[in-house]
Amino acid sequence: MLRDWCTWDRDYNDIVQDIRARLESMASAGNAYTSVLMQGSGTFSVEACIGSVLPAKGKLLVLANGAYGQRIAEIARYLNIAVVLEDFGEVDAVDPDRVSAILKADSSITHVAAVHVETTTGMLNPVAEIGQRVKAQNCIYMIDAMSSFGGMEMDMDQLSADYLISSANKCIQGVPGFGFIIARASQMLTLEGNARSLSLDMYAQWKTMQSGAGKWRFTSPTHVVRAFMQALLELEAEGGPAAREARYQESNDRLVNGMRKLGFTTLLDDSNRSPIITSFLSPDHESYEFNQFYQRLKAKGFVIYPGKITLADTLRIGNIGNVYPADMDNLLTAVAQSMYWA
Chain segment 295-322, per-residue pLDDT in tens: 999 999 999 999 989 889 999 999 999 9
Residue 243 confidence (pLDDT): 98
Verify that 187 and 268 share a domain, yes or no. no
From 238, 272, 292, give the residue that closes a domain: 238
Query: What distance, in Å, lies between the first and last C-alpha atoms of the chain?
Result: 45
pLDDT in tens, 255-302: 999 999 999 999 999 999 999 999 999 999 999 999 999 999 999 999
Q: What are phi and psi of 152, to 5 degrees?
A: -145, 140
The domain that contains 141 carries what CATH number? 3.40.640.10
Domain assignment present for residue 98? The answer is yes
User: How sure is the predictor about 30, in pLDDT bands with cuts at 50, 70 and 90?
Assistant: confident
Q: 84 and 203: one domain?
A: yes
Q: Are residues 113 and 37 in the same domain?
A: yes
Same domain, residue pair 276 and 334: yes
Identify the domain boundary among 238, 263, 292.
Answer: 238
Same domain, 49 and 112: yes
In this structure, the number of other CB atoms found within 10 A of the CB of residue 55 comes to 14
Same domain, 159 and 254: no
238, 261, 277 - which closes a domain: 238
Sheet of strand 33-39: strand arrangement: 33-39, 178-184, 163-167, 140-144, 111-115, 59-64, 82-87
- How much is the mean pLDDT over the chain? 97
| Spatial separation of the C-alpha atoms in residues 305 and 156, rounded to whole Å | 30
* Domain CATH for 313: 3.90.1150.10
Total domains present in the chain? 2
Return the closest-CA partner of residue 181 out of 58, 43, 79: 43
Dist CA 35 CA 165 (whole Å): 10
The pLDDT assigned to 29 comes to 81
84-117 residue pLDDT tens: 999 999 999 999 999 999 999 999 999 999 999 9
In the Cβ-directed half-sphere of 301, how many Cα atoms lie within 13 Å? 8
The reported pTM is 0.96
Are 208 and 58 in contact by the 8 Å Cβ rule? The answer is: no
Side-chain-side CA neighbours of 291 within 13 Å: the count stands at 0
Place 67 in a pLDDT band, splitting at 50, 70 and 90. Answer: very high
Residues 163, 254 within the same domain: no
Range of the structural domain that residue 291 is part of: 240-338
Q: Does a structural domain hold residue 5?
A: no
Asked if residue 287 belongs to a domain, the reply is yes
The verdict on residue 322 lying in a domain is yes
| pLDDT at 342 (0 to 100) | 87
